[in-house]
Amino acid sequence: MLVIGVTGGIGAGKSSVSAILKELGAIVIDADLIARQVVEPYKPAWLEIKEAFGEDFLLDDNSLDRKRLADEVFLSKEKKHILEKIIHKEVLAVIKEKLAAMREYGYKGTVVLDVPIPVKEGFLDAADKVWVVVSDDEIRIKRLMKRRNMSREDAEARMSSQLTQDEYKALAHEVIVNNGSKEELEKNVKELYNRLLADFEAAYS
């Protein structure tokens, strides 16, 4: 089983790369999706967040008030750390469980770990190769303004709250520059993936 970790800053195109790999036959484990699932009402992460932040951060249906929570942690590094620690622990457990199940089943294909925050445990130490997706800052800002309806100020703030692109690059086996068209990205990803598959098969044949 080949495990590729795909990461990168917001607006760089990480999810686009994962989607291309999915079209090529890989199974994608999406950490963002898991993070939304583990905070559903009455799940362990939800209980911990309620305990740490209080019931003021719940909506009428007991789901998390995501916007209010995001605003709260944006203003406090300490609270951001608390929230991330709670969620990461649960996301990590799910990722480990999924990978273990696939290995036990004898899956021989490719698994993609689509992870926005490249933590060591469960991502860097689980991936055979780490691909980092980068884009020019101005391109990222325009994508966020268009696709997520953010203001320029919000986009810049979200970007600055993450690792710098150089910090992401330092973790990479491969860096994918996504400044062009969707077709260019597809071509680059397919070439890189085919090369990796050939190397992987040669190493284990």
Dihedral sign for Cα 16, 18, 21, 27, please. negative
> Looking at residue 205, what is its pLDDT?
62
> Looking at residue 162, what is its pLDDT?
87
Q: Each residue of 103-149: pLDDT tens digit? A: 999 999 999 999 988 877 777 888 999 999 999 999 999 999 998 99
132 and 176 Cβ atoms separated by less than 8 Å: yes
Q: What number of other Cβ atoms are within 10 A of residue 189's Cβ?
A: 25
> Looking at residue 121, what is its pLDDT?
73
- Tell whether the model's pLDDT for residue 67 goes beyond 70: yes
105 and 144 Cβ atoms separated by less than 8 Å: no
Sequence-separated (6 or more) residues with CB below 8 Å from residue 48: 86
- Tell whether the model's pLDDT for residue 89 goes beyond 80: yes
- Residue 164 DSSP label: -
Give residue limits of the domains in the chain: 1-26+109-200, 33-108
Q: From the centroid of its chain, how far is CA 50?
A: 24
68 or 74: which carries more pLDDT confidence?
A: 68
Is the CATH code 1.10.3720.10 the one for domain 1-26+109-200? no
- Tell whether the model's pLDDT for residue 82 goes beyond 70: yes
- Residue 57 DSSP label: G
Q: What mean pLDDT comes out for the span 67-72?
A: 89
List Cα–Cα distances, 27 to 71, 113, 118, in angstroms.
33, 9, 19
Q: Tell me what the pLDDT averaged over the chain comes to.
A: 92
The token pair that represents 137 in the structure block: 């800052």
> Looking at residue 125, what is its pLDDT?
85
At residue 4's C-alpha, the angle toward residues 101 and 39, to 5°, is 60
Query: 193 falls in which pLDDT band (50, 70, 90)?
Result: very high
Q: Each residue of 12-60: pLDDT tens digit? A: 999 999 999 999 999 999 999 999 999 999 999 999 999 999 999 999 9
The token pair that represents 118 in the structure block: 């490249």
